[in-house]
A = this chain, B = another copy of it.
Amino acid sequence: MLPADVPAIWLRDNCSCPDCRDPLTDQKLFQITDLPDDLGVANVRPVDGDEEGWEVVWANDGHVSRYTAEWLQRAAEPDPRTEDGKELWGTAARFADGLPETTWAAYLDDDAERLRMLQAVARLGFCLLRDVPLRDGQAQQVALSFGYVRETNYGPQFEVRVEERPNNLAFTNVAITPHTDNPYRDPVPTLQLLHCLVNEAEGGDSGLVDGFAAAAALRAQEPAAFAALTGTSVPFAFRDDTTELSAHRPLIAADPAGRVREVRFNNRSLGTLRLPAEKTEAFYAAYRAFARLLLAPERQLDFRLGPGDCLVFDNTRLLHARTAFARGGARHLQGCYADLDHLFGTIDVLKRKEAQPC
């Protein structure tokens, strides 16, 4: 039988008949306010057919809806953008047996390999593509292989190398401690790609830190600090000769159920909080506790990008860093931003192809 506690409104709203959902677009054709307040079931009968299911006749208008038992019992899908959809890695030891990586050729030629790489970004926060052609604009080509480039004031792509008059410390040779990019932007770019063209400098190594793992650790160790960070909007700001950007967002953004969904951490662009003294003290104590976790050396996965390596990582979750390098040393990365929505979408399209081979 139809489970007794299934809400009628939920059943009716999910009717999949061609009058309720457009067969071409699968879009719902009625408004929720089109359903009557006194929605009632007139009759429920088992459906004839191979698959177990029920046919519901609605009392008010005689509309008929069908539901399979499989559909009715389906479990909720977790939000894959929260910690629930991730494999958190607290320390670099997780990658003792190697990084999630493949060659550009394998990624292009083999759907299974492409799926494995994109799933690594979804689950672990990053992947590394090797032997990516040493061509100008190639980071954007990588982004276009699963989604779209997000252009910003830094351009459709940006050059990470020493500049004469940098508008950002990234474009100098100093060490950059772990951070997420562009926290002063909303929407923040959810993905970053860094393609190494030259790295002959002494130093200039890369590091990644799992911000979700650190946030989960903070919640376990100091729940009040976690609550202070999820509960405080912080101003971030950036300005140069032609640009002004600011965003008010928490360092740890949780979904309505309290699951970690986005981390922003960037000492360089944190603006000035204007809160009552007590809240300010609580925020700073929590900020320092979170920073100590994020900056603990054992949390940082260090590796060196060589020419042809393209790192793709989740900028809502992973912090990235680089060591200082000798001022004369040649180091040139090209980067661009992109977004997670289409990366996840490409994963789902590849899974669909896998399930229905032609």
Residues of A at under 8 Å CB distance from B?
A: 5-7, 9-10, 13-14, 22, 24-33, 35, 74-77, 79, 81-82, 148-153, 165-169, 177, 185-188, 190, 230-233, 235, 239-240, 242-248, 250, 255-257, 267-270, 272-275, 277, 280-281, 284, 287-288, 291-292, 295, 339-342, 344-345, 348-349, 352
Interface contact A33-B256, CB-CB below 8 Å: no
User: Which of B6, B81, B168, B340 is in CB contact (< 8 Å) with A277?
Assistant: B6
- Copies of this chain in its oligomeric complex: 2
Interface contact B349-A272, CB-CB below 8 Å: no
Give chain B residues whose Cβ lies under 8 Å from the Cβ of A188. 187
**Nearest neighbor of A346 in chain B, beta-carbon distance:** B244
**Nearest neighbor of A177 in chain B, beta-carbon distance:** B31
Give chain B residues whose Cβ lies under 8 Å from the Cβ of A5. 277
**A26-B239, A33-B291 are known contacts; what are 9 more A-B pairs with Cβ within 8 Å?**
A10-B280, A27-B168, A28-B268, A28-B269, A76-B275, A187-B188, A187-B190, A233-B256, A243-B349
User: Which of B79, B239, B269 is in CB contact (< 8 Å) with A248?
Assistant: B79
Interface contact B31-A244, CB-CB below 8 Å: no
User: Which of B31, B35, B166 is in CB contact (< 8 Å) with A24?
Assistant: B166
Give chain B residues whose Cβ lies under 8 Å from the Cβ of A28. 267-270
Interface contact A32-B186, CB-CB below 8 Å: no
User: Which of B153, B168, B272 is in CB contact (< 8 Å) with A342?
Assistant: B153
Interface of A is mostly: loop
Give chain B residues whose Cβ lies under 8 Å from the Cβ of A274. 74-77
Give chain B residues whose Cβ lies under 8 Å from the Cβ of A273. 10
Interface contact A186-B76, CB-CB below 8 Å: no
User: Which of B13, B165, B255, B342 is in CB contact (< 8 Å) with A233?
Assistant: B255
Interface contact A288-B33, CB-CB below 8 Å: yes
Interface contact A187-B25, CB-CB below 8 Å: no
Interface contact A248-B151, CB-CB below 8 Å: no
Question: Given contacts A27-B269, A165-B24, A267-B30, is CB(A284)–CB(B9) below 8 Å?
Answer: yes
Interface contact A280-B186, CB-CB below 8 Å: no
Interface contact B284-A13, CB-CB below 8 Å: yes
**Nearest neighbor of A229 in chain B, beta-carbon distance:** B256
- Closest CB of chain B to A197's CB: distance in Å? 24
Question: Given contacts A186-B340, A284-B7, A342-B153, is CB(A25)–CB(B168) below 8 Å?
Answer: yes
**Nearest neighbor of A230 in chain B, beta-carbon distance:** B256
Give chain B residues whose Cβ lies under 8 Å from the Cβ of A74. 272, 274
User: When chains A and B are docked, how far (Å) is the Cα of A182 from the Cα of B96?
Assistant: 40
- Give 14 CB contacts A-B under 8 Å: A14-B272, A28-B268, A29-B169, A33-B292, A153-B345, A185-B341, A187-B188, A187-B341, A233-B256, A244-B349, A245-B341, A246-B348, A248-B255, A250-B256
Question: Given contacts A79-B248, A246-B344, is CB(A150)–CB(B153) below 8 Å?
Answer: no
User: Which of B150, B166, B291, B348 is in CB contact (< 8 Å) with A25?
Assistant: B166
Interface contact A169-B250, CB-CB below 8 Å: no
Interface contact A267-B81, CB-CB below 8 Å: no
Give chain B residues whose Cβ lies under 8 Å from the Cβ of A6. 277
**Nearest neighbor of A296 in chain B, beta-carbon distance:** B33
Most buried by B among A30, A267, A292, A339: A267
User: When chains A and B are docked, how far (Å) is the Cα of A266 from the Cα of B19?
Assistant: 18
**Nearest neighbor of A256 in chain B, beta-carbon distance:** B231
User: When chains A and B are docked, how far (Å) is the Cα of A273 from the Cα of B141?
Assistant: 37
- Closest CB of chain B to A286's CB: distance in Å? 11
